Amino acid sequence: MTITLIDDLTEAPLKHFFDYATRQIKTADSLPALLAAAFMGLELIERASTVLAQAAPEDDYQVALAEATDAWWALAEAPTLNWPERSMPDTDVQQLADSIAALVMVVAEAILNVASKTTQPADRVACLRAAHHAGNVHAAMR
């Protein structure tokens, strides 16, 4: 099974995101930048582990998911963790914002699709609230 995410409205292998995170870590030029890149890498690992745990049979990757989550929370407590004042190397800010905006639209469409089909009121409310926030993210990216 191949797991893909959306990038610039085209499907790109998850490996692209792993490669990007790896480049950010390898090109970090300060301790805070390295911690921020590692933090973003852990977030990507947690999200990818979530997809893997849901796609795998039974509970094959639940431990990996739990540990990835714990690693992310542990690093979040590092006092030196703060976002660099300038963009990290290798980051085209506008291209990244455009990619995020495009992904937000795909996710929002999926959320609204669920909201229109669910029979559970709590699911509908959660989806509509998430879509509202996703719309705000999209607007902020423009």
Amino acid making up residue 8: D
**69 lies in the same domain as 18:** yes
**7 lies in the same domain as 58:** yes
**77 lies in the same domain as 106:** no
**55 lies in the same domain as 96:** no
**108 lies in the same domain as 79:** no
Question: Which candidate, 105, 94, 97, places its Cα nearest to that of 9?
Answer: 105
Q: What is the pLDDT of residue 1?
A: 43
**67 lies in the same domain as 97:** no
Q: What is the pLDDT of residue 96?
A: 67
Helix residue spans in 56-92 (DSSP H): 62-76
**81 lies in the same domain as 101:** no
Q: What is the pLDDT of residue 87?
A: 56
| Residue numbers of the domain that contains 105 | 92-142
* Encoded tokens for 125: 């409310």
Domain count, the chain: 2
DSSP state of 106: H
| pTM confidence score | 0.60
**45 lies in the same domain as 78:** yes
The series of mean pLDDT values per 10 residues for the chain, 142 residues long, is 42 72 86 85 86 80 88 86 62 70 82 90 91 88 78
**105 lies in the same domain as 79:** no
Residues 6+ apart with CB under 8 A from 91: 24
